[in-house]
């Protein structure tokens, strides 16, 4: 056996990056979640070459104090939780304190931020095998800009797993779509290779929300969906339910959010499938954009580093609530609902 040695900070961060940084889309997800956690109301995303060459996210959130800047790129450093109690009721999208450390170990990352409107800010990046934080002054309005260039430039084995520019961009766009569907009050702008792909204004009213959903999921979905909003005790389910006549050959228009977080969950899937069972041909898939809201202590989001999975404390109760609400909404569809223009 060889002797035991301590891994450098960079190498241990690169190993951790394997769990969360799979492709440009994962970087965009982490950066945008940070911007949303910072209370931003406007997000500008600019990418080049599917995000492999450049990802730049600019926000107008609370920004970061100069003294805290080195900690943004340090592993296990977060402003979002302090103790186990905070973790159990966590309401922010992030809490693990490792995304920026991971990303900066496998790409060239710099973060520029200002916590106020003086126009003065600072830019931080990590250097060397110990990932020492280096700060330089940089002008910036209140908020934060993170630039990530040359993803996996120093990890050729990971780079080989990247797909074509088009494929990487479509994954990245999907991430933005999910976040834009769960944060109506925030404006999103996306540019790819200098071309505007999305320019979404904040959507407050129902018609504005319908318009956002139409522009992200297609106008035919909105024309073939009904709104739903039900609450039983602490559990609320709302959103858009695709008509059974709008069934699809693939499960590609199924969005489910738990407390604003996009999740893939067996309990949810089962409840939805059961609710549509009698009205959907075998092999066809429903279309929906649904939001479940419940007390954050009822759901454990610390199941997987990417947080795509959740665990419900009372999964039976959640399942039954979902099934009953959807089943009733589908049963109550009137012939008028069903006579939507066919697509
Ligand atoms: P986490 O989000 O789990 O806390 P990250 O590595 O993603 O971990 O970010 C580390 C910290 O950097 C955050 O807790 C936050 O304090 C700060 N930060 C990162 N991005 C932003 C941003 N866009 N605006 C304000 N603060 C940010
Ligand atoms: Mg984060």
| Residue 38 CA, ligand 1 centroid: distance in Å | 8
Strands 143-149 and 108-114: antiparallel
* pLDDT at res. 343: 45
Separation of alpha carbons 178 and 44, rounded Å:
16
The pocket of ion ligand 2, defined by CB under 5 A, consists of 34, 94, 99
H/E segment holding residue 146: strand 143-149
Give the closest residue (by CA) to ligand 1 atom 2: 94
SS3 per-residue string spanning 86-98:
HHHCCCCCCCCCC
Domain with CATH 3.30.230.10 in the chain: 219-333
Instruction: State the CATH class of domain 9-200.
Output: alpha beta
* pLDDT at res. 342: 47
Check if the beta carbon of residue 325 is closer than 8 Å to that of residue 228. Answer: yes
Name the pTM for this structure. 0.94
Is the CB–ligand 1 distance for residue 114 below 6 Å? Answer: no
Closest CA to 299 of 308, 307, 310, 286: 310
Length in residues, the chain: 343
* pLDDT at res. 195: 98
* pLDDT at res. 302: 78
Phi, psi (degrees; rounded to nearest 5) at 190: -130, 130
219-333: in CATH 3.30.230.10: yes
Q: What is the complex's ipTM, to 2 decimals?
A: 0.99
Check if the beta carbon of residue 110 is closer than 8 Å to that of residue 125. Answer: yes
SS3 per-residue string spanning 212-276:
HHHHHHCHHHHHCEEEEEEEECCEEEEEEEECHHHCECCCCCEEEEECCEECCCHHHHHHHHHHH
* pLDDT at res. 262: 93
Other CB atoms closer than 10 Å to residue 226's CB: what's the count? 17
CA dist 181 → 73, 209, 288 (Å): 28, 9, 12
CA angle 17, 123, 155 (to 5 degrees): 25
Give the closest residue (by CA) to ligand 1 atom 12: 72
**How confident is the prediction along the chain (343 residues), in pLDDT tens digits per residue?**
889 999 999 999 999 999 899 999 999 999 999 999 999 999 999 999 999 999 999 999 999 999 999 999 999 999 999 999 998 888 899 999 999 999 999 999 999 999 999 999 999 999 999 999 999 999 999 999 999 999 999 999 999 999 999 999 999 999 999 999 999 999 999 999 999 999 999 999 999 999 999 999 999 999 999 999 999 999 999 999 999 999 999 999 999 999 999 998 999 999 999 999 989 888 899 999 999 999 999 998 878 877 788 899 999 999 999 999 999 999 998 777 776 554 4
Is the CB–ligand 1 distance for residue 64 below 6 Å? Answer: yes
DSSP 8-class letter at 110: E
Of 13, 31, 72, 109, which is best to mutate to test ligand 1, by the most ligand atoms within 8 angstroms of its C-beta?
72
- The distance between the two most distant Cα atoms of the chain, rounded to a whole number of Å, is 75
Separation of alpha carbons 32 and 51, rounded Å:
14
H/E segment holding residue 206: helix 206-217
Give the CA dihedral 76, 77, 78, 83, nearest 10 degrees. 70
Domain with CATH 3.30.565.10 in the chain: 9-200
Check if the beta carbon of residue 107 is closer than 8 Å to that of residue 133. Answer: no
Of 34, 74, 113, which is best to mutate to test ligand 1, by the most ligand atoms within 8 angstroms of its C-beta?
34
């Amino acid at each position: 056996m060889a002797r035991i040695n301590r891994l450098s900070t960079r190498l241990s961060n690169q190993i951790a990056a394997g769990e969360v940084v799979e492709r440009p889309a994962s970087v965009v997800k982490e950066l945008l979640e940070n911007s949303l956690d910072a209370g931003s109301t406007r997000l500008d995303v600019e990418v080049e070459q599917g995000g492999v060459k450049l990802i730049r996210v600019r926000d107008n959130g609370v920004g970061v104090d100069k003294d805290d800047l080195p900690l943004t790129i340090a592993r296990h450093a977060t402003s979002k939780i302090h103790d186990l109690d905070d973790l159990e009721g966590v309401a922010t999208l992030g809490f693990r304190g490792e995304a920026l450390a991971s990303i900066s170990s496998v790409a060239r990352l710099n973060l520029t931020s200002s916590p106020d409107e003086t126009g003065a800010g600072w830019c931080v990046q990590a250097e060397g095998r110990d990932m020492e934080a280096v700060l330089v002054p940089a002008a910036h309005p209140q908020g934060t800009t993170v630039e990530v260039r040359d993803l996996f430039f120093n990890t050729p084995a990971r780079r080989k797993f990247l797909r074509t520019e088009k494929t990487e961009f479509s994954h990245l766009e999907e991430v933005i779509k999910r976040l834009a569907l769960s944060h109506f009050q925030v404006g999103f702008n996306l540019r790819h290779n200098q071309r505007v792909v999305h320019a979404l204004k904040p959507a407050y009213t129902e018609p504005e929300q319908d318009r956002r959903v139409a522009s992200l999921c297609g106008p035919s979905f909105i024309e073939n969906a009904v709104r739903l909003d039900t609450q039983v005790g602490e559990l609320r389910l709302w959103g858009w339910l695709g008509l059974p006549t709008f069934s699809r050959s693939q499960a590609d228009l199924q969005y489910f959010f738990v407390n604003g977080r996009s999740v893939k969950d067996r309990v949810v899937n089962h409840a939805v499938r059961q609710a549509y069972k009698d009205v959907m041909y075998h092999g066809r898939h429903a279309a929906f954009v649904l939001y479940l809201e419940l007390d954050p202590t009822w759901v454990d989001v610390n199941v997987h580093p990417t947080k795509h999975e959740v665990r419900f404390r009372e999964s039976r109760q959640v399942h039954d609530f979902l099934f009953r609400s959807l089943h009733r909404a589908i049963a109550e569809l009137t012939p008028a609902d069903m006579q939507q223009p066919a697509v």
